[in-house]
Amino acid sequence: MTDEQVTILIEEEFKEKTFAVTEQYLEIHQPIYLDNKLKIERIDRDRSDNIIVAYLPILNERFYFAVYLNGKSGEIINIETEPYHCVYFFVTSEKLTAAELKSMTTLAISTSWNKGDLKPNGRSTYQVSALKIMPNTEPDEFEDKLDNLLTCLEKDKAGITELVSKAKGYIQVAMDIHNGNGLIGGPHLDKKSIARMSDLGLSIDFDLYVGGKSFK
pLDDT digits (tens, 9 = 90+) for 100-150: 999 999 999 999 999 999 999 999 999 999 999 999 999 999 999 999 999
Per residue in 40-70, pLDDT tens? 999 999 988 999 999 999 999 999 999 999 9
Q: What are phi and psi of 61, to 5 degrees?
A: -130, 165
Q: Does some domain include residue 129?
A: yes
Q: Say if residue 77 is in the same domain as residue 117.
A: no
Q: Say if residue 171 is in the same domain as residue 132.
A: yes
Q: Say if residue 170 is in the same domain as residue 186.
A: yes
Q: Does some domain include residue 216?
A: no
How many domains does the chain fold into? 2
Q: Does some domain include residue 201?
A: yes
Q: Say if residue 99 is in the same domain as residue 142.
A: yes
* Residues 6 or more apart in contact with residue 145 via CB below 8 angstroms: 85, 87, 136
Cα angle for residues 192, 195, 197 (degrees, 5° grid): 110
* Residues 6 or more apart in contact with residue 191 via CB below 8 angstroms: none
CA 190 to chain centre: 18
